[in-house]
Structures are given as C-alpha cells and as structure tokens.
Structure 1
Amino acid sequence: MSPLDSQSQYQSFKLENRSSSAPIPLYYRIKEYLIHQIEFGSLLPGDQIQTEDELSELFKVSRMTARRAVNELAQEKRLIRKQGIGTFVAEPSIDRQLTKLTTLTEELQQLGYTGLRSTVLAWSTHKAQNQLAKALSIQAGERVLRIRRVRYTGDVPIAMQTIIIPDKFAPGLQPTNIGKLSMYQVIEENTKQSVKWASQKIDAVLATPYLAKWLEVPIGSPLFKVTRQAFFDNEQPMDIARTYYRADRYSFQINLYRD
C-alpha cells in the first residue's frame, strides 16, 4: 500500500469516526483503523499491512503504541506475523462441524473453499506388525500404506496428516491423485464399500520443530491433534489417521442437546 493510499484511507477513517466524543486510547485507534480496512475490503486475506513504523508515523504515535495494536490483532487471529517478512491479514478461521462424518476435503468444499491441495511428504508400504495389524483387523505381515501430507487452502498450510491404510484397500491411490480428492471417496470407489462411522479423539498439543516447519507457525504454537479411525459398513476398520491442525486457522464446533 502506497503512502498516498494510506493517508487517503486514514482521512476517510477519521471522517467516518469523528462523531465519537469519548476518549479512545491511541493504540485502539490504530486497531480500529486496521479492522475497518479488513472489514470493508481495503485489506484482503493475504495482504500485507503497513509496518509499525508506517503506522506510528500515520497516527503520530510511538512505535510501541503501534506494536500493541498489531499484537492484539494477531492474538485475535485477524493478522499473522511472518518473521523477517511482515504482517499479513489472516485467512478466516475454518469452523468445522462435528455432527457428520466427512473428510477435510469434503468439509472445505462444502464451505466453498477453493485451491485445495496437498504436498506429499512420505509415501511408503510396509508389513504391519502385531499391534498395528490388530488395530486394523488384518493379519500380521499384511502390507499397509503410510501417507504423510500437508493440506493447504491456497498457499496457506492448515494441517499435517498421517494416514495408515491396508494396502488392499488402496489399489488406485497415487501421490498424484490425492491432492484435491477425498480419501474416503477414492477408497469407497476402489472397495465398493461405504464408510459408515468413525471414532475420533481431539487433543491440544504444541508444535514441535518439525510440525512448525511444515505448518509455517512458530515452534510451540497451539495445535489440535485429531486421531481418527474410520470403519466400513461391515465394521471393518478402514484406516488410522492422525492430523495436526493449526489452531489459528481451525476450530471445531459441536452442537449439544438435552434429552
């Protein structure tokens, strides 16, 4: 954003808010100004905002005051700081309903998200040891497929997923065809069976250096760890999946009812 554009939008913001007679803290004026730009479309998700120096000069305040406004908006998940690059408008948080069994791909498509893609980090087959074979209700020594991938909306990583599937259920799966496809849909088509239900557990964890690298968050950032096992309609386990979601980009909603 050019200095001229910033000054023009600042003057417009002042005119729209001149009726307020109550004293407003200086940092809060900057915060309201940035929220105004985001909510009215002057700043879109992924856009870089003014630097702290530019904001302090625009509002004639100290850099510390400008930093407080930006920090609060980052804590509220409206902004994302990228070390050494700048501060950007955050993508809206994905609010996932836990009332129906869907894959991440299906859920995001239903919410209207586009640009879904995956980066495959690992793709291998190996023999299932006793404990894993028991969990998947297969014979020890049967081959399983292990996939690790990062899921993106556009250029923003939102989750890292590790999936283990009996190899006999995945003859058509290839690294090239799982980027935009629902894993359930591919397996259901291959096996001619329907996925009926799943057991799911959600934990709060902190990002390790490895997770932080691929999810593009600081080490120690909060994540949701979701462990899920899906079952076919004949009660045969289909997979075991462990997914780490960015807590700044993802939330879960559950509707509860009294009897």
Structure 2
Amino acid sequence: MKKVDKTSSVSIHIQLQSIIKDMIESGELKEGDVLLPEREICKEQEISRMTVNKAINALVSEGILYRKQGKGTFVAQKKKKYQFNNVKGFTEVMKSRGIDIKTDIIKFEILNPDDIIMEKLGITDKRENVYKIKRIRYVENEPFGYEIAYIPEKVCGGMTKGMLDDNSLYKILENEYGYKVARVEQIIDPIQVDTKVSEKLQCEKGRLALSIQRTSYTEDEKIIEYTVTIIRSDKYQYEINIGM
C-alpha cells in the first residue's frame, strides 16, 4: 500500500481513500478481497485509528467497500453505470442494450389519490381515481430499483396487471391508449433507505440511494404519469448526458 504524504495539504483520510480506490482500480484489490485490518493500516501508515476508520467509513458509504461483522472489510462489486438520456421507459432502454432485466409487480390497485398525488398529476376533481403500481426492478437478477407509479385512471382505463408484466409502461400508453410521452421532468435527491425499502432492495437500512421523481408529459402538456423510483447507489450509478 502506498504511503500517505503527511506534508501534503490534503487531509490524511482523503489521501487514504484515494490510495484504496487506486488499489481497486489497478486490480491490486479485487472484488471480494478483504482489506487489511484497521490496526495494521494504522501501523503501516503511522496514522491514528480514528483517521483510518474515517476513511473506511467514507468508502463504505460510497459502496466501494462493505463490512461483514466479525470477518472484516471487503471490496464491493464495481458499480454498474446506466444512462437515461431520453424519454424511453426503463424496460425499453434496458432491452435495447441487451441487458437482462425482470420486473416484479408487488402491488396493482385503483384508488382515490391524496392531495399530494392529485397535485403531481394535475388532478382537480377529487372523484377521479388513479392506478397505483408498485414494482421492483431487477438488473441481471439483482434488485436495481423500487418504483411506485401513479397514472390517472382516465388515461388508461381498463389497464390490467398482466399488461405490465415485463412490458414497457410507455409502450402500453402509446400502443394501447394513444399517449406518447414527449418530455419528462425529473427531480433527483440522495436519501438513506428505510427498513421497508432496504428489504425490497436487499441492502442495509440507512444505505445511501437515489430517489428519482419523474413526471411524464404528452406533447399537449398533459400529465400521464408520476413515478417515484429509489435506486441503489452502492452498486449502480445514474448518468445523465446533456447535449449542447
């Protein structure tokens, strides 16, 4: 392991993070490898246990390392990167890239929305119902995201759970109901997953994730979908390319 530079203006724990990252990038440390115990890193680097712990905690939070109680700290699986640069749906994008995906619909219901969902969908009549669809998205057999979608019933009356099985919602809206998504608005926030979401995504409670609120519009500015998706950030990166 490369030594930290105690004369540098860069904090020691930041240097140590960079050293460990470089070891992973170079292949010196591979996925599943165990990191040296903190006390050995302290001795080798001649730095405090607190500094080493701070560096390792930061890398665990980033999903670069993970801990197993009583066994040590290990190199995590390298994050997969997925780009979403257009208004295609998740299923359509992944299938076009030949990526193995699966969708598990865990709840499909029609209900009367609360005030928040009414506002998100631009609904003014309290008598209007919406579809509420909860799905878990899998990429290469690993949970990728937990999604809750809301769609006005009047947009796609008669839609069934079976229609959505491994099919693109956007394709269904276009082919079955004549609504083509022209643009989307997205709000992305970092969050810590709670117990319910951690169980669905098979990750630790408190793990960092991305919450993506997505509102879909037709060409005439009609809102046809509002979705909240929570994506694991320990194994996946969400990349957006903006052309100028």
* TM-score (normalizing by structure 1): 0.65
- Give the aligned CA root-mean-square deviation in angstroms: 3.9
The alpha-carbon deviation at position 145 of structure 1 amounts to 0.7
* Aligned-partner residue type, residue 209 of structure 2: L
Counterpart position of 1:237: 223
The alpha-carbon deviation at position 208 of structure 1 amounts to 1.2
Counterpart position of 1:123: 108
1:1-259 mapped onto 2 (5 Å cutoff): 36=27, 49=32, 77=63, 90=77, 92-97=79-84, 99-114=85-100, 116-129=101-114, 132-138=117-123, 139-171=125-157, 173-248=159-234, 249-255=236-242, 257=244
Decide which structure has the larger Cα Rg and report it.
1
* Aligned-partner residue type, residue 82 of structure 2: D
The alpha-carbon deviation at position 186 of structure 1 amounts to 1.0
Aligned equivalents of 2:156 and 2:114: distance in 1? 19
The alpha-carbon deviation at position 167 of structure 1 amounts to 1.7
Aligned equivalents of 1:135 and 1:24: distance in 2? 52
Is the alpha carbon distance of 1:206 and 1:129 closer, same or farther for their aligned partners in structure 2, counting shifts above 3 Å?
A: closer
Deviation per CA, 1:145-204: give whole Å up to 9, x if none: 101111111221111111111123334643344242111111111211211111211111
- State the identity as a percent: 18
* Aligned-partner residue type, residue 106 of structure 2: L
Counterpart position of 1:11: none
Aligned equivalents of 2:78 and 2:157: distance in 1? 36
Counterpart position of 1:16: none
Aligned equivalents of 1:24 and 1:89: distance in 2? 21
In structure 2, runs of 5+ residues without a counterpart are 4-18, 42-51
* Aligned-partner residue type, residue 118 of structure 1: T
Number of residue equivalences: 217
In structure 1, runs of 5+ residues without a counterpart are 1-22, 57-61
Question: Is the CA contact 2:33–2:75 (under 8 Å) kept in the aligned structure 1?
Answer: no
* Aligned-partner residue type, residue 105 of structure 2: V
Is the alpha carbon distance of 1:75 and 1:36 closer, same or farther for their aligned partners in structure 2, counting shifts above 3 Å?
A: farther
Counterpart position of 2:16: none
Question: Is the CA contact 2:61–2:208 (under 8 Å) kept in the aligned structure 1?
Answer: no
Question: Is the CA contact 2:156–2:173 (under 8 Å) kept in the aligned structure 1?
Answer: yes
Q: Give SS of 1:168's match.
A: coil
Is the alpha carbon distance of 1:172 and 1:155 closer, same or farther for their aligned partners in structure 2, counting shifts above 3 Å?
A: farther
Q: Give SS of 1:112's match.
A: coil
Q: Give SS of 1:239's match.
A: strand
Question: Is the CA contact 2:34–2:75 (under 8 Å) kept in the aligned structure 1?
Answer: no
